[in-house]
Structure 1
Amino acid sequence: MTDLTRRAFVAAAAGAVLMPQRAIAAFPDRPITVIVPYAAGGAGDMITRLISNAMEKALGQPIVIDARGGGGGMIGAKAVASAAPDGHTLMMGATNNFVINQFIFPKTSFDPLTEFVPITRVAVVPSVIYMNPSVPVKSLGEFVAYAKANPGKLSYSSPSVGTTPHLAVERLKQLTGIELVHVPYRGAPPAMQALITGDVQLYLAGWGVGRGFVQSGKARALAVASTSRLPNVPDVPTASESGVPGYVAENWWGLAAPKDTPQTAIDALHAAVKAALQDPAVEAKLSELGFLPGGESPAEFAKAAQAEAIVWRDTIAKGKLAVD
């Protein structure tokens, strides 16, 4: 990441860049479309639906959710980047849409740190490591030993190449020295379904995505890749407790607008999201799903994204994971 890119992202977040901006008499003056760049039914879709009612009350306009999966989230992201910068078309993007794709797909020449104005991170989703019950292991440590005894014979799914679940498993491989085959899908639901049917043996996702399958016995939750156990799932140990010290893998979902979107619109959207996250019903549901609420300022979001981008850049370089 260049210093120019870093400065541009911070300035956009803080509203400090002096640039021509379209005047907005009253924002919003029509429905707001939130593009989720993954298949319907995944965590991003779930989070957007969860906050949409409260946002509608704050903004006085309907929220229209448009799920556009494909290309590791690039298709939906580019659609938002090319939309009119008036605050009426937004992206609810995952970690990779902001700080991974520019490194995993370097030839696309698409840098989200300069193409979007950050609004806020909406939710942080600690990853749960799910296992197909057919695999004869009961803990993450046992899985690592089993994978080492069966190199290249086990596989894992992801919502697409370059997504956080993909790279988080690659980091697990780098930490433990195991060999796993990556099988990408188009979105979280088919990736989880592949685990359930036994087409793959491992998948990383939030608790809300796999909870029902664990409860029905169709999947096993080996560990949560977080610094602490999830309050609503106290029986699932952390990865560190399960034999892989220091392994943390969290996905997050953030709201962003096309670059040059007026600061007045950004401020109104940020206030609406914060109001939604403070709604008791939303807070309760996020906790139930194992999500941690966000709400930070645009500038804080920008700063955190810059720092994380460096981590993923180095992970991708070490694993030679960039796609030509």
Structure 2
Amino acid sequence: MPYRACAVSVLTALAPALMPPAASAQYPEHPIRVVLPYAPGAAGDIALRQIQPLLEKRLGQPVVVDYKTGAGGNIGMQDVARAKPDGYTLVLGAANNFVINQFLYRKLGFDPLTDLEPVGKLADVPAFVYVSADVPAADWTQFQAYARAQAGKLNYGSPGMGTTPHLSAYRLSKAMGANMTHIAYRGAAPAVQALLANEIQLYIGGYSIAAAYVPQGKVRALAVAAPQRFAALPGVPTAKEAGMPDAVQGNWWGFAAPKGAPADRIARFAEALRDVLGLPEVQQAYLASGFVPGQDSPATFGAAWREEAKQWEAVVHESGVVLDN
């Protein structure tokens, strides 16, 4: 065989191997698995289900939700941290899974800041500060005065130790010198029932509580911890407007991939996510559910993780709360 013909033959045979991986296939080629480390019905699950068909249409492949519950979300998070970093396994976790639990649990088994790649925020869940209707306070100033006068006698509740509602309420109680007692419940539902019964006087939670009980006068919403007022409750001031200490932070839900996942695949999913979350019909649906759609990039989302983690690390250490898996 002539040299030129031989060289062409060899190059032809090697061509597939020489092509860059990104050019060999269009991502995604098959379904994407999204691990949700909580039981069905969690806020993140609701937010994802509202956009799932639109996201699948953008990506051209199914997005399959895999529920892996337990240990405050740590089991599902660890599953993804140890998964193959190919862009086909993601996790949809809450704020505590990314920026709190590594400081809270004795043996987490992984570090979300180093073992996961940020993809994008699905939604913010602004935190409303609620008080029982039996509390003689119509606004934050009145409640603060009442709590100080009753120092050591009032309770605040949370859906569990180390959650954002727990740590935010802890900070708030300390900031106003109220020395309130924390009561941890097994989830938001029993905590809300305790607020309705005045077993606890303060609770920090999402919009759904306001939608269900504020119009009936069963609870009062004193403020919302957000940069601006929540559109569905324009009469509730922001924490800053109410004069509240900068102590309350809302929850959020975001996507991450195993460390080392291809950047182009992460960018593809993040772009599809942003496109869907920018649709007017999605924004309206999220508003009705108490969500604010995320609109960031993997880089800005990752930067927000690192900054928020510093804040929560200090709060966790100050509170002295330590948990076991």
Query: TM bucket by the smaller chain?
Result: 0.7 to 0.9
Q: CA deviation at 1:109?
A: 4.4
Cα distance change of structure 1 residues 68 and 177 upon mapping to structure 2, 3 Å threshold: farther
Query: Aligned AA for 1:82?
Result: R
Question: Residue 267 of structure 1 aligns with which residue?
Answer: 267
Three-state SS of the structure 1 residue aligned to 2:252 is strand
Aligned to 1:5: none
Q: Deviations over 1:15-62 (max 9, x none)?
A: xxxxxx999844334333323333433321221122212111111222
Question: Considering only CA atoms, is the larger Rg found in Structure 1 or Structure 2?
Answer: 2
Pairwise CA RMSD? 2.7
Note if contact 2:96-2:163 (Cα within 8 Å) is conserved in structure 1: yes
Matches within 5 A, 1:127-138: 127-138=127-138
Q: Partners of 1:168 and 1:69 in 2: how far apart?
A: 24
Q: 2:177 matched to 1:158? A: no
Aligned to 1:280: 280
TM-score w.r.t. the length of structure 2 is 0.82
Distance 1:283 1:314, change over 3 A: same
Task: Map 1:165-244; keep pairs closer than 5 Å.
Answer: 165-208=165-208, 210-244=210-244
In the aligned structure 2, how far is the partner of 1:108 from the partner of 1:316?
Answer: 15
Q: Is the 8 A contact 1:43 1:206 kept in 2?
A: no
Q: d(CA) in 2 for partners of 1:311 and 1:168?
A: 11
Q: Distance in 2 between matches of 1:235 and 1:182?
A: 28
Spell out, residue by residue over 1:244-285, the C-alpha distance to the aligned partner (whole angstroms, 9 max, x if none): 244442222211112222223212211221121122211112
User: d(CA) in 2 for partners of 1:191 and 1:67?
Assistant: 24
Aligned to 1:90: 90
Q: Retained in 1: the 8 A contact 2:124–2:292?
A: yes
Matches within 5 A, 1:41-80: 41-80=41-80
**Which AA in structure 2 matches 1:242?**
A
Q: Distance in 1 between matches of 2:234 and 2:207?
A: 12
Worse overlay, 255-264 or 211-220: 211-220
Q: Which amino acid aligns with 2:85?
A: P
Cross-structure match for 2:298: 298
**2: CA distance, partners of 1:265 / 1:148:** 53
Write the distance in 2 (CA, Å) between the matches of 1:46 and 1:79: 22
Q: Report the CA distance between 1:142 and its aligned residue.
A: 2.5
Relative to structure 1, the CA distance from residue 154 to residue 261 in structure 2 (aligned partners, 3 Å threshold; closer, same or farther) is: same
Change (3 A) 1:23 1:217: farther
- CA–CA separation in structure 2 for the residues paired with 1:177 and 1:195: 21
Corresponding residue of 2:257 = 257
Seen in structure 2, the aligned counterparts of structure 1 residues 271 and 209 have a Cα distance that, compared at 3 Å, is: farther
Which structure 1 residue ranges, 5 or more long, are not aligned? 1-20
Separation (CA, whole Å) in 1 of partners of 2:22 and 2:121:
25
Deviations 1:84-139 (A, max 9, x none): 33333322212111111111224324311112111011222221012232333222
Deviation at 1:240, TM superposition (A): 3.3
Aligned residues: 304
Structure 2 unaligned residues grouped into runs of 5+ = 1-20
| 300-309 vs 188-197, which moves further | 188-197
- Tell me if the contact between 1:106 and 1:322 (Cα under 8 Å) persists in the aligned partners: yes
Counterparts of 2:198 and 2:101 in 1: how far apart (Å)? 29
Structure 1, residues 197-251: CA drift from partner, whole Å, max 9, x if none?
5443322122145422323444321211234322221111223333424444222
Whether the aligned pair in 2 keeps the contact of 1:102 and 1:108 (CA below 8 Å) is: yes
Q: 209-218 or 41-50, which moves further after superposition? A: 209-218
Seq. identity, % = 46
Worse overlay, 247-256 or 270-279: 247-256
* Structure 1 residues 68 and 185: CA distance shift in structure 2, 3 A: farther
* Structure-2 change in CA distance of 1:53 and 1:154 (3 Å): farther
